[in-house]
Amino acid sequence: MYEAGRGKLRPADSITHRKRLSYAAFLKERVKYALDCKPERSPSLRQSADFQTLCRDGIVMIPGFLAPEQVEAYVRQIKADTPIFDGQVEVSDIGSCILNDADQVGDFQAFFESPLIQAMARAYVSADVETPRKQIMLKLKPGEEAYSDFYHIDHWEHKLRAFLLLQDVSADNAPLVYLKGSHRLKPWRLRKEFEIFHHFRPAPKDVRYATPHTTEESKWSGMCLAPEVYNIGRAHGYEEYIATGTAGSLLLFDAKGLHHSTALKQGTRLLLAMHLDRRSKGYFKRVMDYEGQG
Ligand SMILES: [Fe+2]
As a three-state string, the secondary structure of 46-64 is: HCCHHHHHHHHHCEEEECC
> How far from chain centre, in Å, is Cα 172?
21
Q: Averaging pLDDT over each range in 24-33, 58-67, 92-101, which range is the top one?
A: 58-67
Distances (CA, A) of 92 to 30, 145, 175, 217, 280: 30, 11, 17, 20, 24
Position 49 scores a pLDDT of 96
pLDDT in tens, 155-183: 999 999 999 999 999 999 999 999 999 99
Please state, in angstroms and rounded to a whole number, the distance separating the CA atoms of residues 11 and 60.
Answer: 40
Residue 204 has pLDDT above 60, yes or no: no
Residues with Cβ within 8 Å of residue 134, at least 6 apart in sequence: 100, 101, 102, 103, 108, 112, 272, 273, 274
Cα 287 to averaged position of ligand 1 atoms, centre (Å): 23
Position 15 scores a pLDDT of 47
Distances (CA, A) of 227 to 186, 224, 231: 18, 8, 6
Strand 177-180 and strand 239-242: the pairing is: antiparallel
Under the banding of pLDDT at 50, 70 and 90, the label for residue 65 is: very high
Cα 159 to averaged position of ligand 1 atoms, centre (Å): 9
Q: How buried is 101 (Cβ within 10 angstroms: 0-12 exposed, 13-18 middle, 19+ buried)?
A: exposed
pLDDT in tens, 107-147: 999 999 999 999 999 999 999 999 989 999 999 999 998 88
Residue 13 has pLDDT above 80, yes or no: no
Please state, in angstroms and rounded to a whole number, the distance separating the CA atoms of residues 209 and 293.
Answer: 9
Instruction: Please check whether residue 60 is in contact with residue 163, taking contact to mean a CB–CB distance below 8 angstroms.
Output: no
Long-range contacts of 43-47 (CB under 8 A, 24+ apart): 45/119, 45/120, 45/123, 46/123
Cα 260 to averaged position of ligand 1 atoms, centre (Å): 6
Cα 211 to averaged position of ligand 1 atoms, centre (Å): 9
Distances (CA, A) of 219 to 99, 237, 258: 23, 28, 17
As a three-state string, the secondary structure of 262-294 is: CCECCCCEEEEEEEEECHHHCHHHHHHCCCCCC
Cα 49 to averaged position of ligand 1 atoms, centre (Å): 25
Cα 126 to averaged position of ligand 1 atoms, centre (Å): 20
pLDDT in tens, 29-61: 999 999 999 999 888 888 899 999 999 999 999
The CA angle 66-145-154, to the nearest 5 degrees, is 65
Amino acid at 147: Y
For the chain, percent of residues with pLDDT exceeding 90: 66
Residue 6 has pLDDT above 90, yes or no: no
DSSP assignment of 29-49: HHHHHHHH------HHHHT-H
Residue 223 has pLDDT above 50, yes or no: yes
Nearest to 113 by CA among 48, 43, 162: 162
Cα 264 to averaged position of ligand 1 atoms, centre (Å): 17
Averaged confidence pLDDT in the chain? 87
Higher pLDDT, residue 14 or 5: 14
What sign does the dihedral 138-140-146-152 (CA atoms) show?
positive
Position 87 scores a pLDDT of 81
CATH T-level assignment (fold) for domain 11-287 = Jelly Rolls (2.60.120)
Position 5 scores a pLDDT of 39
For the chain, percent of residues with pLDDT exceeding 70: 84
Cα 60 to averaged position of ligand 1 atoms, centre (Å): 16
Cα 139 to averaged position of ligand 1 atoms, centre (Å): 16
Residue 4 has pLDDT above 80, yes or no: no
Higher pLDDT, residue 200 or 262: 262
Position 288 scores a pLDDT of 73
Nearest to 231 by CA among 188, 192, 260: 188
Position 231 scores a pLDDT of 97
Instruction: Please check whether residue 60 is in contact with residue 54, taking contact to mean a CB–CB distance below 8 angstroms.
Output: yes
Cα 1 to averaged position of ligand 1 atoms, centre (Å): 4
Position 234 scores a pLDDT of 96
Cα 43 to averaged position of ligand 1 atoms, centre (Å): 31
Cα 148 to averaged position of ligand 1 atoms, centre (Å): 6
Cα 223 to averaged position of ligand 1 atoms, centre (Å): 9
Residue 260 has pLDDT above 90, yes or no: yes
Residue 9 has pLDDT above 80, yes or no: no
